[in-house]
Structure 1
Amino acid sequence: MILNSLVLENIRSYSHEEVEFPRGITLFEGDIGSGKSTILMAIEFALFGLGSQKGESLLAKKADDGYAILEFTVDDQKYEIKRALKRRSTGVNQDPKNSYIKTNDQKEPLSPSELKQRILQILKFNEPGNPNSVSRIFRYAVYTPQEEMKKVLGDTKTRLETIRRAFGIEDYAIAAANARDIAASIKLQVARFEERFSNTAQLEDENKASENLVVEINAKISQLDKERNGLEAKNILVDKRSKQLQKQNLEKVKLEGIKDKLEEKIEDDESSTESTEIDIDDAKEEVDELKEKLTELSKIKKPTVKTVVEIEKEIVKFQKINDELVKSEGIVSELSSIISKLSKVSGKNKKEMQKETTSKEKILENTLQTFEQSEKEVESLKKQKTKYETNIENVQANISKFAKLGAQCPVCKQKITTEHLKELEGEKKTKLDKLNAELKKIVDSFFETKKQHTKLSKEIEKLESEILENQQMIPQIEEFEEKSAKFAQIEAKIKELQIQNKIPKEKFEYESDEPVEYLSALKDALVEYENSLAMTVETEKNHEKTLKSISKYQTDLKSLEVNITKNKKEIQSIEKQLKSFADIDDEIRSTDKEFKENNEKITKVYALSASSKQNLKNEQEKISINKEKIAESQKWKIEHDKFSEYFEWLTVFFIPIISQIEKQVLLSILQSFNETYHRWYSILVEDPTKESSIDEDFTPIVRQDGYDQEIGYLSGGEKTSIALAYRLTLNSLMRKETESLKSNLLILDEPTDGFSKNQLGKIREVLDELKSQQIVLVSHEKELEAYVDNIFQISKEDGISKISRMG
């Protein structure tokens, strides 16, 4: 077997690494904890699965998936295998969907357990395919983890099993173990057979005893039948007497029943008598009460000759009058308030007011006409004033023009002279004076007219105000006259209603004079009187009825007394008849007891007889069964003798011979093993005072000066040397026996742990002596670099391991 390459993905401290394994001696070196042993663990995981390891120990802590892919060669055939890990909520396990083996570029998906079976077949390892177990041949012959190297020295049982498997001699042990299992089963079967026929003599004795018992039981059954017949004959006579007594007892019970009924009747009649006497007393008391009530009712007198209907009509009439009075008084109060508010128009006449208003309206109309005419005159004077003012301005302008000498005359168009100027100025001034005089007249007239106009305006406003006031007052005068008339009318009605709201009093007296209250009280008194008449009639009827009830109660009382006397006489007659049956209960009890006792005896006899018959049947069946058992026991005796011979042959002959053959084969292997071990030991350990050999259990023995020495007391380097020598011996011998190991693959994990410098110098000699095509060393010892062909440096940065080839 040769390793070609390894791919790691999320395996422990490796994120992703690929490594090619060269031929020759290869060293993986690095500091402690850098990840050297992880490479070897990954190789074993790829080949054989987790085994006894937990998935958590291989998968990187922060990863959910990881895998290892290993390529190797066996018998010139290349193989590639892949195993994957997956983190789930339940833990880390192998991923069955992501494992395979590739042969000749043909990929075959296999489950983890199927993949291990295939690898064991390829490597020709004679081991079980349990997925939870490690490969012991691989662990002892090819690779042992660093922490388990020294365990080789102490694990005797595992070591022997491994040697048996490695050298193909475990078949002897298996055959012997199987033979022992078969012998144990045969021995158990022999014991079972012996149990099945060991009681033959006992069965024969039991049969003889059962036959004697059958004779005794038959005699007992005959005696019991005779006793039972005598008891049954006796019970027939007892039963006959019992029936006679039962007949007499029925007659007695009948008489007692009649007596009980009569006593109940007497008791009921006496109770009825007491009840009737109480009823009579109650009725007499009721008669007295009714008489007293009639006396009281006779005292109620009729208050009026009127009927209830007539009184009710009068009540309705006076209620209407009261309602009218209340309503009228309310209206009077309301009218009084309104009239008070209109008191300012009191004493004024509507027609005179209307006449005055019409007169003022005519004056207003004339004044308005005068006002309009005055307004026109003012406007005309205003225009005339404006006209004269304009003419005056024109004349004044012309005069100003004449003042300039040499100017052209605006009239004759001639040049103005001094004489001419004076003449013109005189004319214009005369005209101007005339115009000013006319303007003064117009202005005076304008102001006079304006003054008159203002006076007319004030007169118009006054007239309009007076007319409006008169117009507003006329409706108030109308309302005042209307409300005053209505007020007088309602007051007259109230006086009339007050006269009507009085009634003549009768002999019935009442504290209030108010008609409705008086009539209501009168009505109540009349109703009470009429009710007393009805109650008097009813009371007289009840009085008569109660007197009749008293008479009936007295008649019933006499009848009850007669019945009581009669029933007591009948009871005396029945008691005389019952005296003749005084002892019948004792006779019945005695007869029943005798009959019951006889029946119990008969039942016991029947039970004893049935039990005896069952015992007879049981003994007869027992005899039959025992005869069958005796015949069966004789058959098992024959089987017992045959299996005893098988057991003796296996235990006395076969198993000892197999063990002897295995021992001889192991001794033959031991001799070769001892020679090879001694050679490796002598190379690794140069202490002439110590020598080491292998005992019959393939355990390393160390002697010093002729005395055996405990390996546990040796130095660390000596222990490592012995363990290495032992493993090299295993590898040397097993590669001869195992075809897949002929290529001499050897993996050593920290093989020099505890070695001295002198021992380290021997490692080259050991490696050369191995003559293996491929040796993989894992160590932190720098000195080993001088003894190997290939060097890989393993380093760790930020928790991630890296592999780099150094040479």
Structure 2
Amino acid sequence: MLLKSIRLQNIRSYLDQEIDFPLGSTLLSGDVGCGKSTILLAMDFGLFGLRKGELEGTDLLRHGKDRGSVTLIFEIDGREVEITRTLKRTKDSASQDSGTLIIDGKVQELMPVELKSKILELFGYSQEILKKNRPIFRYTVYTPQEKMKDILFDADTRLSTLRKIFATDKYGVIKSNAKIFVTELRSMKRENEAVSRDLEAKLAEKEEKETEKERLLVLLDKQSVDISAIDAALAEKQEYFEDVRKKMDEISSVRKAIARVESELKAKLQREAKVVRDLADIAEKMSSAPGSGETVDVVSLKRRIDEMEEKKEKIIRENAVVSSEFRRLEGIMKDGVCSFCNQPVSKGDFQKRLDERLRVMQELKRNMDFITASVAGLRSDLSRGEKLQYERRLLDEYRRQQISLEGEKQSLSSEIAVLHGELDMLANQAGSEDEVAKVFSRVQEEISVINRSKVVAEKEKARCEQQLYDIDGFLKSAEREILEKRKAKEKILCINELMNWMDSYFTALMDVIEKHVMAALQSAFNDYFQKWFGIIMGDQFSVRIDENFSPVIEQNGYVTEYTNLSGGEKTAVALAYRLALNRVINSMIETIKTRDMLILDEPTDGFSSEQLDRIRDIIAELQLKQIILVSHEPKIDTFVDNVIKVYKEEHVSRIVS
């Protein structure tokens, strides 16, 4: 991470100020209270937001202003990131509002918690230590001057924090979890002991049921043999019964045939009697039928009648024409004027014409009367001829009926004789019906007795099979329970071994590993601490880091308490400790991406002129791409690459680059 710029709007003593941060070492210089530390607080807020009890909104928002903001631009992994956080004043405090995050030009509007999560992700802090993000950033990049003393004096908090940062606290967690695990193992052991407690009783019960099963299997075999014998006897009786039933069916069929033949014979006899009556009736009709040999040509008569009718129609049409002409001429003569030309007419001439028409009409009437009389005579002859034809056809029909009835009578006589013979034969076949019926009833009763005995035997067999089924179900369940109980006993052995291993070896192993890891960290920390302290103070003191990561200062063979040191000596211890923390954390945690930058807040408080000169050596030794120092010491201006001067005018902080 490399910081490029920061913009403060209504943040403490700043109204609207943008500050660019070049690479290399940069000094924020100015008098006490001019606003240097405000820039660092704004940077802290821009990255991580407000923190209750540590960084409140009212600590940052300028008095009299309702809104404020901080915009940070930095580079990380070659990408430019811009983050803006805002503050708004409420009734009793100042709270965070939503902010924006711009990465490579892509804008995201996020809530404060979301912004913090994104920043932590960009910084490469692993998921396991996300909840410890503030100590990591504070112990590596930026520690406020008043917080460094807290780190040095509060040994318990410091050691706990370092354990969390370097993940060595996991060994304590593992030991705690191991105790919980052993407790759970004991609970599992009690559960398995409860499961396996009645194993022997269950084995004895299983053996008893297996003996009962063997007895029932023998009984079941005997019952199966008995039922097979009953089935054989039943099959034999049913076969005999089937033969008797067939005989009964045959007798029934004969009885039905007798009834059918008797019915048919009765019908034939009745038909024969009717045929005899019909023959007598026909003979009587034939004797009374006329026997005239006269013949009439009916066809010729019909043709002549049709011709006369045509002539009659023709005469009627002619008469209609002549009558119409007669009436017309009669009207003209009566009027004396022609209706077409309106000329007077000659009555004598018209009278002749009327007489001629009258003559024609009379002639047509005579012809009509003659034809009418002729047609009447012909129709009378036709009626008589048709009657003669009907009588001849009727006589012919009587003769045909007589011949047919005579043939039918002969056929019926023959069929009746055959039916009498068939009836006698069937009567002989049905003679043993009563005897067969008695045998049928007796065999039917015998079959019922055998079936009842079979039902009893099958019930006994079913009862035996049900008992076997129940025993098999019990044995399967018992086998599962016995298997479960044996597994429970095996689990108890495994649990005992595991509990012994956890109690005797595992916990001790975690202690050893933790001590080795902490010793390695303490050794590396000690080397860095001695190095930085030696650069600052020379060989005036002998320093080291103890097993609690507390600084131990010796002078002339005696341990000197930190509180007894001078102001500059205290600052030297704090700075060396701070730089050692930075190096150890950056070297041990590979994922973090803030190792190229360091912020030192008033690192030279109480330093002598000689100690101030050694700050130049420290800056060179650090070999970081970006170092930001906050100091009011004018001499440091000559040690750094860049100087940003901060001054306050009329309660407003301003920058001179």
8 A contact 2:5–2:73 mirrored in 1: yes
Residue of structure 1 in register with 2:70 after alignment: 68
The one-letter code of the counterpart of 1:762 is: R
The structural deviation recorded for 1:159 is 2.7
Structure 1 residue 173, shift from structure 2 partner: 4.2
Cα deviations by residue, 1:156-187 (Å, 9 ceiling, x for unpaired): 33333443454454544443343344445556
Q: CA deviation at 1:113?
A: 1.4
Letter in 1 for 2:28: F
Tell me, in whole angstroms, the C-alpha distance in 2 between the residues paired with 1:105 and 1:65: 25
2:135 maps to 136
Kindly name which structure, 1 or 2, has the bigger radius of gyration based on alpha carbons.
Answer: 1
Give the secondary structure class of the aligned counterpart of 1:762: helix
Report the alpha carbon displacement of residue 56 of structure 1 after superposing the two structures with TM: 1.2
**1:728 counterpart = 2:582:** no
Matches within 5 A, 1:601-612: none
- Per-residue displacement from partner, 1:511-553 (whole Å, max 9, x unpaired)? xxxxxxxxxxxxxxxxxxxxxxxxxxxxxxxxxxxxxxxxxxx
Query: Which residue of 2 is the match for residue 784 of structure 1?
Result: 636
Matches of residues 443-522 of structure 1 in structure 2 within 5 Å?
Answer: none
Give 1:190 deviation, angstroms: 7.1
Give the unaligned 5+ runs of structure 1.
Answer: 201-633
Residue deviations 1:375-413 (CA, integer Å, cap 9, x gap) = xxxxxxxxxxxxxxxxxxxxxxxxxxxxxxxxxxxxxxx
1:53-132 to structure 2, matched below 5 A, reads: 53-96=55-98, 99-126=99-126
Secondary structure at the counterpart of residue 32 of structure 2: coil
SS in 1 for 2:607: coil
| Deviation for aligned residue 1:778 | 0.5
Summarize the alignment of residues 713-724 of structure 1 with structure 2, pairs less than 5 Å apart: 713-724=564-575
Partner deviation per Cα, 1:57-91 (whole Å, 9 max, x = no partner): 11112111111111111222221112111222252
Which residue among 605, 610, 626 is the counterpart of 1:753?
Answer: 605
Task: Quote the Cα distance in structure 2 between the aligned partners of 1:23 and 1:38.
Answer: 21
The equivalent residue for 1:705 is: 556
Q: 1:105 to 1:676 in 2, by over 3 A?
A: same
The answer to whether 1:669 aligns with 2:538 is no
Distance 2:183 2:2 in 1: 46
Structure 2 CA distance, aligned partners of 1:687 and 1:22? Answer: 35
1:364-379 alignment runs, 5 A limit: none
CA contact (8 A) 1:735 1:744 kept: no
CA contact (8 A) 2:120 2:130 kept: no
In 2, Cα distance between equivalents of 1:129 and 1:101? 23
Q: 1:658 to 1:788 in 2, by over 3 A?
A: same
Q: Quick one: which of 584, 596, 614 aligns to 1:762?
A: 614
* SS of equivalent to 2:84: strand
1:693 to 535, 538, 544: 544
1:651–1:36 Cα change, 3 Å? farther
Aligned counterparts of 1:62 and 1:128: Cα–Cα separation in 2: 42
For 1:229-308, what aligned pairs fall within 5 Å after superposition? Answer: none
Other-structure match for 1:571? none
Paired with 1:115 and 1:642, the residues of 2 have a C-alpha distance of 50
SS of residue paired to 1:768: helix
3-state DSSP of counterpart to 1:653: helix
Please list, as runs of the form range in 1=range in 2, the aligned pairs for 1:160-199 lying within 5 A after superposition: 160-167=159-166, 169-183=168-182, 189=187
Asked if structure 2 preserves the Cα contact closer than 8 Å seen for 1:3 and 1:21, the reply is yes
Q: Cα deviations across residues 79-120 of structure 1 (Å, max 9, x unaligned)?
A: 111211122225222113xx1221110011222112212211
1:157/1:645 CA distance change after superposition, 3 Å: farther
Give 3-state SS (helix, strand or coil) of 1:83's partner.
Answer: strand
Shift of 1:760: 1.0
Letter in 1 for 2:641: D
Q: Distance in 1 between matches of 2:550 and 2:66?
A: 44
- Note closer, same or farther for the CA distance 1:663–1:24 as it changes in structure 2 (3 Å cut): same
Deviation by residue 1:710-755 (Cα, 9 ceiling, x = unmatched)? 1111111111101100111122233333444465211000000111
The equivalent residue for 1:653 is 505
Residue 674 of structure 1 and its aligned partner are, at CA, apart by 1.5
Task: Find the counterpart in structure 1 of residue 256 from structure 2.
Answer: none
- What letter matches 1:760 in structure 2? L
Counterpart amino acid of residue 72 in structure 2 = L
Aligned-residue identity in percent: 40
| Contact kept? 2:141, 2:598, Cα under 8 Å | yes
Secondary structure at the aligned position of 2:515 is classed as helix
Equivalent position amino acid for 2:134 in 1: S
Q: Partner letter of residue 534 of structure 2?
A: S
Q: What secondary structure sits across from 1:18 in the alignment?
A: strand
Residue in structure 2 matched with residue 153 of structure 1 by the alignment: 152
Q: What is the correspondence of 1:279-678 to structure 2 with a 5 Å cutoff?
A: 646-678=498-530
Q: 1:728 to 1:643 in 2, by over 3 A?
A: same
* TM-fit CA distance, 1:191: 10
Q: 1:120 to 1:672 in 2, by over 3 A?
A: same
C-alpha offsets along residues 650-700 of structure 1, whole Å, 9 cap, x if unaligned? 333223212322221222222222112111111111353x21011122211
Q: Distance in 2 between matches of 1:129 and 1:670?
A: 20
Q: Which amino acid aligns with 1:779?
A: S
- Please give the secondary structure, in 2, of the residue aligned with 1:93: strand
Distance (whole Å) between structure 2 residues aligned to residue 67 and residue 194 of structure 1:
64
1:240 is matched with: none
Query: SS in structure 2 opposite 1:135?
Result: helix
Distance 1:87 1:195, change over 3 A: farther
CA RMSD in angstroms, aligned pairs only: 3.2
Aligned residue-pair number? 369
Structure 1 Cα separation of the partners of residues 530 and 604 of structure 2 = 19
Residues 13 and 801, structure 1, Cα contact 8 Å, conserved in 2: yes
8 Å CA contact 2:123, 2:594 repeated in 1: no
Q: Are residues 13 and 666 of structure 1, via their aligned partners in 2, closer, same or farther at CA, if it must alter by over 3 Å?
A: same
Check conservation: 2:129, 2:165, Cα contact below 8 A.
no
Secondary structure of residue in 2 paired with 1:650: helix
The answer to whether the 8 A contact 1:2-1:743 is kept is: no
Q: Distance in 2 between matches of 1:195 and 1:800?
A: 78
Are the counterparts in 2 of residues 127 and 165 from structure 1 also a CA contact under 8 Å?
no
8 Å Cα contact 1:66-1:85 kept in structure 2: yes
Letter in 2 for 1:63: K
SS in 1 for 2:73: strand
Amino acid at match of 2:56: K
Whether contact under 8 Å (2:129, 2:164) holds in the other structure is: no
Q: Deviations over 1:757-796 (max 9, x none)?
A: 2211111111111111100001111111111111111111
